[in-house]
Each structure stands twice: as C-alpha cells, then as structure tokens.
Chains A and B, each alone.
Chain A
Amino acid sequence: MTALGSAKTVKTTCPYCGVGCGVLATPQADGSVAIAGDPDHPANFGRLCSKGSALGETLSLEGRLLHPEIGNRRAGWDEALDLVATRFREAIERYGPDSVAIYGSGQLLTEDYYVANKLMKGFVGSANIDTNSRLCMASSVAGHKRAFGSDTVPGNYEDLELADLVVLVGSNLAWCHPVLHQRLAAAKAERPDMRVVLIDPRRSSTADIADLHLPLRSDGDSALFVGLLGHLAHLGHVDADFVAQHTSDAESALLLAEDWPLDRVAEATGAATADIATFYDWFAKTERTVTVYSQGVNQSASGTDKVNAIINCHLLTGRIGRKGMGPFSVTGQPNAMGGREVGGLANMLAAHMDFTPEAIERVGRFWQAPNVATKPGLKAVDLFAAMARGEIKAVWIMATNPVDSMPDADAVRAALEACPFVVVSDMNAKTDTGHYAHVRLPAAGWGEKEGSVTNSERRISRQRPFLALPGEARPDWWIISEVARRLGHSKAFPYRTPGDIFAEHVALSSFENDGTRDFDLAGLSGADYAAIQPTQWPVRTKPSARMFGDGRFFTPDQKARFVPVVPPPPIRPAPGSFVLNTGRVRDHWHTMTRTGKAARLSAHYAEPFLEIHPADAERLNIRRATLVRVSNARASVTLRAVVTDRQPQGQVFAPMHWTDQFASNGRIDSLVAAKTDPVSGQPALKMARVHVEPAGARLFGFFVVAQSPALTSDYWAVAPINGGTRGELAWFNEPEDWIAWLKANFHLPANARIKTFSDDRVGRRNFAVLEDGRLILALYTSPDPVIVSRQWATTLLTKTNLSASVVLAGRPGADMPDPGATVCSCFSVGINTITAAIAKDGCDTVEAIGQCTKAGTNCGSCRPEIRRILAATMASLSQTRS
C-alpha cells in the first residue's frame, strides 16, 4: 500500500458494522496508517471498537488481487472487461435479461451500488440484482414497509442514550455493534435507573449490562411481543389518540394478541413467567422505551412478523419518532442502508421506489432507460437456486463470499460450479467464491476508494481515500461503468468520479418526490461532494434526526399499519438433535477477508468453535477443547468444543466467519437450510437442526510458524500472528513419518534441522526449528488438546535469542537466579550459589557448603576453589559488618 499524497489526516468511516463510526486515518512516514476514532462523527464521537482500531493492520497488500485474471492467468483490464461484456451480452441475447444477475454486497459504497442497480434494472432490463443485505436486513425492510409504507428507521443512536428502557432483541450488541453498545453502557452508567433487557437464547456478552435476560427458544420473539401487545392493551397502556389518528388495523392485531396470555407465552418461549411479567411490566410503564433488534430477529423464517410484532407494540403506545423511544433496527453491514437507498435489492426498483407502473415510468424517464425492469428479480436464495437449475447463464459477484455466507452453502458452491460464466470482483486473490470464478477482477478496497455509506441511523457519511490504488485495482463503480459502456450504454454511464454518481443519486431521490417518498436528499443537491458532512436523511431542506414524530407515514392514507401476527411455534430441541444458532464473534468481520489479516483481531478467537452446554457435552462425552463434528443431511463441519453454560441446553452456537481459507472444515452455513421468510425472502440463518458428536481426533496439535503453511492434517485452522501464522491441528491418525510431514506442511528445506521432544507413553511430541535464535517453527502435539499457552507461544516469532528448550517445553522457564560461573562441574554449582550459601545460609566450612549446595562433594576437585571463595566472601562479609 502506498499513501496518497502527503501524509495528512483523512476523515472517513469504518467499513465494518452498521454503526458506521467516523475514522481518522493518517498515513505515516513508515508506510503504516494511524487509525483513530473521529471525535466529531456523531455515530461514535471518537470511539472505535477492536475491529475499527485494528483497521491499520488489515491494509497490507498480502493476498490482494492486483490485476485481472481470466481463468488462472493474468489478463489486462481491456481483455477482461471485453470478456465480461461479451458473455453477459451473449447470455442476454440468447436467454433474455433474466438469465444474468449481479450479486452484490453491503460492503459496496452507495455509488458502486447505484451504478450496478442502474445497469441491471435500467439497461439490462432485469431486476436480478440482489445482495448479501438480503441475509441481513431484508426482514426489517419488509417489516418497515408493511408498518410505515417505507423502509424507514425512525430513530437514532441518541435515543438509546435517552431511553429509560432499552430492549435488545436478538442482538449481541456488545460484539456486533460495539460502539453503540459502549454508548449504551456509558449512558446506563450515568443513569443507573435506566434498564436494559436482553432477549436472546444465548447469554451473550451483552448480558453483562442487562438487568434482565430472557433466554427464549429460537423464534420465540413473536410470541413474546404478541403477548406484550395483549398485555399492554389489557392493562390500558395505550396511546389511544395516536392509535386512532395515525394507525390502522389495530383491532385485528389485538384480537390475535388476546390469545397469548402470559402463561402461554411462557410455555411457548421457554422463559420464566416471572421474568416475562417483569419485562412486560417494565415495558408498559416506561414511556421512553427503545426496542433494538438485529439478526436474531431478521435471520428467521418469521423475521418480518417479528419486526412487525415489535413495531405493533410501539405503535400501540405511540412510542415512535420521539426522543428516547421507538423500534430500532441496527444493520449488520456498513452500507446495507445505502444499498437499500439506491434500490439495490431484487424487490426494489430505485431510490425507495417499488415496481409500480408510475415508478417504473418515472425512473425510466430519469435514467433515459428504454428497458427498465418491470418486476422484481430473484432474491439471493432464489437466485442461487435458479443458478443451480441452469437458469442463470452469467453472474457477477461483488465484494461478497456467498460460498461461505449463504445458507445451504455447499449447494451455492455447486450452483457456481455449474454456472457457465462467473465473474468475481474482490480485493483478495483467494476466496472460497473466487475459486469458482471464470474472471476475477481486482477491486479497490477501503482506504483506496471513495464514496459514501449510510449507517443504521440514516446517516450518510463520506468514505475518503488515503491510499493509492494498488496494482491494477479499480473502484467497483468504475469497473461496472466500463462493462456498461461495453454493453453499449456509454451515454448513461459517463461517470468520471464517484461525486458524479452521488449527484445523480441525489437527483433521483428528489425526482418528482414532493414528500411522497421518505428517501429524499434534495438538500444535498449541488453540495460539494468532498466536503459533505455526516448527514441524516431525509434531507429535503435540512437533515432529519427522527421520523414519524408528526404521525405521518408513507402509506397511501399516511397511517401506520398494525400487522396481525400469528406467532409460529418456537423451535424446540428434538431428541437426539440440537438447534444450531449462528452468529459473530467480537473481532472478526464476515468471512474474515480483512480482519483475518490482523494478528490482534485473530487472538480473540483463532479457530471456529461450537458452544455447547456442559450437560449436553457430558452426555455426549465431549470433553472441553476437543473437536466436535456438527452435521446434518446437508453437510458436516468440524469445530472446537467450547463447553459453556452461556448456551442453553439443547442449543448450540457457532460463528459464521470461518472459510476454507482459515479452517479445514468450518463453513457453518453449509449446515443451514435455505429456508426463507415468506415476506422478505431473508434466509433463516440462525436456525439449523444438527447432530453433534465427538469428532474422534486422536491427536491434537498447535503450531506457530514463520512461513504460511500448506496443511494436510485432518483438521486445521490458521490465524495470523506477528511474524507468521498460528494454527490448531488434529489428526484421526498420527502421521507415520513426522519429519516428512513437517517438511511438507511447513515448507521446510530438506536439510532442516528439526529439534524434537517426545514422550512416547503420553504420546506427546513437540518440534522446533530455529535459526540464529529466531523461531521458524514450533509444533506441539498431544493426544489431549495441547496445553501450551497460546498467548505466550504467539509471541515467540518476534523474539530473538530464543532457547530451544523454552520452545520445545512450550513455556518460559521459571525466573531462576543466575547461578554464576560454574565452580563445581559435577553438580553444576555456580559461584553465586556458593556465595549465597555462605552469606545467607551461614555456611562457614567447605563441608557445610557441600551439604548446602552439593558443591565439591563428588570429585572434590573444586574444593580448593570453594575454599578460596569461602575465605574471600567471609573477608568481605566481616568488612561490611565491622
């Protein structure tokens, strides 16, 4: 990476979660980049979480794709772009526009998204553009639209600080939106009366700030909130005026809710009646209540209903659009919101307009596009299913890794394998998805590209570059525009800068809007793109901190809708199987393509794991830190067992991050069925039925190595550390020839001198290779999980003057006093030990010294020297005493 221009601080935003923190990036003289929170950014006011703080460590060019590739050969841009255009054109001509698709990402910038959406929907003439936001936000979008007539997040982050009750539903805020969590925790510390309720099957880290944790069965949320609605109505906690004037359909929702008294809710959700009652009571009595919800709500087969069950309660109490209250969906991705704004999902058209005849006509006019798509396209799960059936002839995947992140991930892999033409735009040369690409295009990454993003509180911020484009990498908007030109649409894609695109985006948002659409950026038209400050939309004339405070919604009658919700039966563990819940860890992002580069971020969790309750583990004879096989008819993965009572019995949890690049077999979404929410099409990623059993590993290993390895063990997981790679290994059968195995797996030269420790009875073997006191390789193996301090071992590669014993022992030696130069070689007794015996233990004869230290008691040849030391020490002692 090369800094852009002279080193100065650039204001940008974090590319990870939907909090969208402001970041100050300052390239340093040594080529590194100093990262700090932007104190002026309203999302974080200077804070950053571990992921954001480590951004500077993810910028190396190692593993980057730096030039286009066709097949496995390097190609020029022209050749690659021509090929992409040709194959897309051929498919469209032969099989129609719906035979091609774009699968994008909430990691794309708004400008990239806009151009991609415009190309597909306006010029290819198909709405087959969906993104990984489908996996993240679709149910919130659908729930918002059903209730509000628009996809609008009513509140903002400040509301969490102003609330007296914050209800966190299906949100591990502490790990997934850490800075927002910090803001909440700080507010709670300041106002201890403030209450936090956590609703989550797991006792996640977020439970630390919760006054009450309701461990529901998976998908028990609807029952809980339907019950709450009934409770509120029953006890009269209703804002009757608001309901009457600004909502409709309350009756039908309430009618259904009557069927859910407390004991039925308790029975269905598995939570304690008293706890539910407490929650209901708090909710009923606390005007300033914010209900935050995230993937636990969205990634469900009933996600949209859950969203509406929550919104219903806020509508009934009129707690929306005012300070410190409202339903609040926090997005997973940095620009899921931006994607929704441009319409970059298959069931939207553009700029918060749907496929209505008027909107199609309006957008067509605006784009001067003759061929605007007239109906929704294929949503993510349907898209890959169609691909598997051979209906998609060409697909272009940008900035996402569906082979790992989609449900039924092995089927996605098979679909890609079967697809005649796959283009992947990515920063990285090697990804599990890129493996199946016919053409790989090098995309510019964070810090290199510029554009804008929108965070979870509708705040548009600029991402600004501070690094030069590396190699031949290009921004996505440029790549897409180049293909559009080659498809014959040069006039519609004349962009020279992202600012050009943003201006068009602004113009479309306000085009014939007149307050009919929530998304309107009129106030930004003509703005100096370079200087745009973090701004909350809508911004007709000025930014809007909150929405719906005036009781006006975007439905035809401007009234919000209650949505009657019939809670689905919550998911109960079936005998012999577990309910698998999936999620994130604090320090990794998505499929680890960036966070997986930072040693600091890989230290928290360095391998894929399964959390399981101690009673379940005991029943299945799963010892802690051993490996488990988690399987069902779809797939089987191997994970490290973390035995913990954070996890309820009958349920297990595994993180979604690990790919084939980091672990032998940890792609957790391969276990998840491609079941979707009927309204939003969002897959139920948080639910799979699985079997869990000991993996049967006979031998475990742990290593640190300077060079990146090529592992062939039955199980492996790798993570970066300073100076190299660390890894966990396991074998079902011990390698027959260890030395050969080591040489092959760790690229050791044929004449490598391998130091070994072996204890045959225990079955433990340790290996070390050093060069001039620096570690090249340390491998520890044992029939039990290896007990070597990872914390300590991962520092070895940066140490000098290492002793082979320390490495082989797998721990530092105790701090032994320096014995000094050897006097008695039979017993290795040093001069310091002898003088200490004289001075401290009062030994005053050679014999006494011998008894005390053994010195001189074997061959006796050192006795004259001991006698001299004795005399000298006694003399100096008497001197100091007199």
Chain B
Amino acid sequence: MSGRQKLVVVGAGMASGRALEHLFAEAPGRYDVTLFGAEPRGNYNRLMLSPVLAGEKSFEDIITHSAAWYASHGVTTHFGEHVTAIDRHRKVVISRSGETPYDTLVVATGSAPFVLPIAGKDLPGVLAFRDFDDVQKMIAAAAMPGSRAVVIGGGLLGLEAAAALRLRGMGVTVLHAADHLMNRQLDPVAGAMLQKAFEDRGIEVLCKAQTQAIIGHERAEAVVLEDGRICQADIVVMAVGIRPETRLATDAGIHVERGIVVDDQMRTSDPHILALGECVEHDGICYGLVAPLYDMAAVLAKTLADQPAAFRPLPTATQLKVTGISVFSAGDLETRDGQEDIVLRDEEDGIYKRLILRDDRIVGTVLYGETTDGPWFFDLLRESAATSDMRGTLIFGAAFQGSAPIDPYGGRCSVAG
C-alpha cells in the first residue's frame, strides 16, 4: 500500500468528474481514488443527452473521461455499481463488490427525477430523462412507426425531450401545468413565442394542463387531464423536476435537509465526508444547473488539497438546447417595484429580448430567437455594471456599444451649426 490517502467518490457524474480534474491538477498523487458509478459507464456530459436523443450527437461524442484517463490518474472505477450504504464509523462504503475503505468520502449522487404521485406512474412506458438508459429507451420507442409521446413538463428538460422525440418522428404532446412554457425562466411573451415555435414543428403544446392519471393495461397508453381531456401515448416522459439524491446520506445519519447540507468548503456534517453537485444544499439552496456545480468542484478540490476556498453562489443563466430555437434567460424575472423593462419585440423574425433593470443595472434578461448577446448581458448582470451610458443601445448588444457617433441635436437643424 502506498502512503496515499484513500479517497472514495460516490457518483460518476458531471460534478465529480470536474472535481477530480481539479484535484489531480491541485494535488497530484495525494490520493488513491476509487470512483463508484451506478450507471454502467464512466463520466459523460449529461447536458448533451439532449443532442444524443435528437440524433445530433452520438454517445461517444459526449464522453468526458476515457478509460485511459482513469488509468493515467490511477483511478479505480466501479461503474454499474451502486453504493448501498456508508458506514461512517468504520469509514467504509458498501456495494456489490463489498466494502471499500476511505479516509475521505465524496458524495456526488446528483439528483433523481421527480415523479408525479399519480395513478399509473409505474406503468411500463413511463420514462424519465436523466441518463443514457432513459435516452436509449426513448430512442427504441421512437423507432416504432407512428408512435406517440406525451411529455409532462414544459421546462428545459421536457422541451428538449419533446423536440428530440419529434425529430425522431414521434407525435409529441407537451403537457405543462403553468400558464406558459419555461415559466421559471421566461416571461409570458417569450413563452408564447416559444410555444409557437414548438407548434410550428408539429408538437402539440397544452399549457395549464393538470395531469390526473396515466392509464393503460400492460403499459402506458394515455394521459388523462383533470379537465377530462385524454392524450394518447406510447411513452410518457416525466420531466417535472428533480429532487436531490440524498438517501445514502440520510441513511448514514449525515445532516440532510432538502439536500445534503454542506458548508462553504463542501464539507458535510461529517468532517470526513464532503459532497457536491445536485445532491447538496448550500445556504438553503439546491442547484439544478451545471455552472454552480463546477464552482463547487473547484472548491471541493481545494478543500481536498488543504487549500482555502469557499463556494459563493452566483446568478445563473439558462439556454435551451434545441437546434433552431434559441432561448437565453438569466437573473430575476419577477415583476417588482422599481424595476424597468427594456424590450425589443420582433415577432416577424421570432425575436424577443427583455432586459430587466433596477437602478440602471441589469438584474435579469430573457432573450428569445437571438441570444448572441446573452453572455454579455449576463456579464453585466453578474458585475452589476452601471448601464446608463449605453441605455439607448444596450439591448442591441455588445456590437452596438461605442459605435457610430450620433447627431448631438434632435432635429436636422444640427446641420445648421
């Protein structure tokens, strides 16, 4: 045995993958790493499951860490192997292959799809959209000619699934409980434009649709709405949200609220156990986008390397990954006092841009159709930059700043000067 410390990582997902990269950069050779992953494959880019489902990328394209990479960093991998328990007392994790001891344990179990507690939820043909297995099931269902899918949930995930399944030739209906699509990220105008774009692709979208039950004999056959409407379905994809995957931690008696509670250094209530990713709760917040998880990964690596670091949450931005439809949203979209809107509306070209400002600073933005400037607005938002000097052209983006000089006067009478 080497004198290295034993680091066990549970969950081979996006957060842990990035954390290991940082760790090997910060403290090469300090730990012997053992990585458990319930999925029968190594780390891959989960975000990119959508293009894979759409047939735009292959699974190979989205693998982030190869067998060679694990080997070169001396990572022992246990893929397809669930960790079933943590024995904190003995500092071992338990799985199919037995007990694996750790000096330090990292829990990165991500989250599990939220399943609506309705009748028929367990019927075959009711799927989630979380991992590559789900994607394979959906691809198989789509291969049957004339098959239909009902996607429950008109958020990011549901819409990406719906668009992808439609591309694969399925008849698709999106059932969304709120007034407009992506209601957490978009305002009603952008939501309506988005709906129109989906409908233009032949996807049926029903908003304010409360799902009552999934019915079928052997497998799911239809979804019944509260108003009595019935939507035929060969598969039903549930994309109504996620819940942190905390069971392991809860069972081990670690402090868990909605997620596994961590401090700024990503430590749990057990000093030998760290956690990161969607499974954690920091300062009362659970995250569902990758950017903050990457920040956690950097912090966690430093903590493991005994370097000071602290996780600071930053505003997040969202984009919809549906080819041909660009949506970008960031910051606070709620209507509040003292908030000012700058709006650009171009229904003809399918463009809608809204900047929400307070005290001349961007606090939120929704871009639909033309999102190139999203990152620039997002920068201004995060930097809380004063924008009064560029107010007139702000919404037109970075390319318009400092451009052509303008008439100092209003009327043509400037020429007389």
Contact = CB atoms under 8 A, between A and B. Distances in A.
Interface of A: 603-607, 609, 611, 624-626, 640-642, 644, 700, 702, 728, 753, 755-762, 764, 770, 782, 784-792, 804-805, 808-814, 816, 825-828, 854, 857-861
B48 A861 contact: yes
B403 A786 contact: no
Contacts of B342: 757-759
Contact of B413 (A625, A782, A787, A860): A625
A805 B397 contact: yes
Given A605-B412, A609-B411, A828-B372, A816 B406 contact: no
A607 B410 contact: no
Nearest to B346: A755
A158 B92 CA distance: 112
Nearest to B415: A604
Nearest to B326: A825
A757 B370 CA distance: 14
B400 A809 contact: yes
Nearest to B372: A828
A804 B342 CA distance: 16
A694 to B, nearest CB: 14
Contacts of B416: 605, 609, 611, 642, 644
A860 B294 contact: yes
B409 interface: yes
B230 interface: no
B345 A756 contact: yes
Contact of A607 (B64, B374, B407, B411): B411
A603 B341 CA distance: 35
B144 to A, nearest CB: 30
B404 A812 contact: yes
A789 B407 contact: yes
A463 to B, nearest CB: 32
B397 A785 contact: no
A607 B48 contact: no
Contacts of B395: 757
B401 A826 contact: no
B335 interface: no
Contact of A811 (B319, B345, B400): B400
Contacts of A642: 411, 413, 416-417
17 contacts: A642-B417, A644-B416, A728-B411, A755-B349, A756-B346, A757-B344, A760-B341, A786-B410, A788-B407, A790-B407, A791-B407, A810-B406, A811-B400, A814-B399, A858-B291, A859-B48, A861-B47
B403 A814 contact: yes
A828 B371 contact: yes
Nearest to A606: B412
B45 interface: yes
B406 A788 contact: yes
A826 B319 contact: yes
A605 B402 contact: no
B296 to A, nearest CB: 14
Q: Which 3 A-B pairs have the closest CB atoms?
A: A785-B410, A753-B348, A625-B410
Contacts of B411: 606-607, 609, 625, 640, 642, 728, 785
Given A859-B47, A861-B47, A764 B400 contact: no
Contact of A625 (B348, B400, B414): B414
Contacts of A625: 409-411, 413-414
B29 interface: no
A784 B392 CA distance: 12
Interface in B341-389: 341-349, 351, 370-375
A607 B406 contact: no
A804 B411 CA distance: 23
A784 B410 contact: yes
Given A753-B348, A757-B342, A826-B319, 14 more contacts: A604-B415, A605-B412, A607-B412, A625-B413, A755-B348, A755-B349, A756-B346, A760-B341, A770-B348, A785-B410, A808-B344, A813-B403, A858-B294, A860-B45
Contact of B410 (A787, A812, A857): A787
A784 B291 CA distance: 43
Contacts of A609: 411, 413, 416
Given A609-B411, A609-B416, A826 B399 contact: no
A188 B391 CA distance: 50
A605 B415 contact: yes
A608 to B, nearest CB: 10
Contacts of A828: 371-375
B290 interface: yes
Contacts of A858: 290-291, 294
A854 B410 contact: no
Nearest to A811: B404
A811 B340 contact: no
A833 to B, nearest CB: 12
A715 to B, nearest CB: 11
B18 interface: yes
A794 to B, nearest CB: 9
A770 B294 CA distance: 44
Nearest to B25: A847
B396 interface: yes
Nearest to A769: B348
Given A605-B413, A625-B414, A755-B346, A804 B351 contact: yes
Contact of B402 (A603, A756, A814): A814
Contacts of B405: 789
B286 interface: no
Contacts of A787: 392, 406-410
B141 interface: no
A854 B294 CA distance: 14
Nearest to A768: B346
Which of B290, B319, B344, B347 has most A Cβ within 10 Å?
A: B344
Given A609-B413, A760-B341, A859 B45 contact: yes
B333 to A, nearest CB: 16
B254 interface: no
Nearest to B290: A859
B352 to A, nearest CB: 10
Given A812-B404, A814-B399, A861 B412 contact: no
B62 A861 contact: yes
B391 A804 contact: no
A761 B340 contact: yes
B345 to A, nearest CB: 5
A115 B270 CA distance: 114
Nearest to A757: B344
B225 interface: no
Interface in B99-147: none
Nearest to B388: A762
Which of A604, A785, A790 has most B Cβ within 10 Å?
A: A790
Contacts of A784: 410
Given A753-B347, A758-B342, A811 B393 contact: yes
Nearest to B341: A760
A761 B356 CA distance: 11
Contacts of B409: 624-625, 785, 787
Contacts of A606: 411-412
A816 B398 contact: yes
Contacts of B45: 859-861
B403 to A, nearest CB: 4
A758 B341 CA distance: 8
Contacts of A762: 391-392
A484 B374 CA distance: 77
A758 B354 CA distance: 10
Nearest to B345: A756
A241 B18 CA distance: 111
Contact of B375 (A760, A809, A826): A826
Contacts of B344: 755-758, 805, 808
Contacts of A702: 410
A781 B321 CA distance: 36
Contacts of A605: 412-413, 415-416
Nearest to B417: A644
Which of A603, A607, A755, A860 has most B Cβ within 10 Å?
A: A860
Nearest to B405: A789
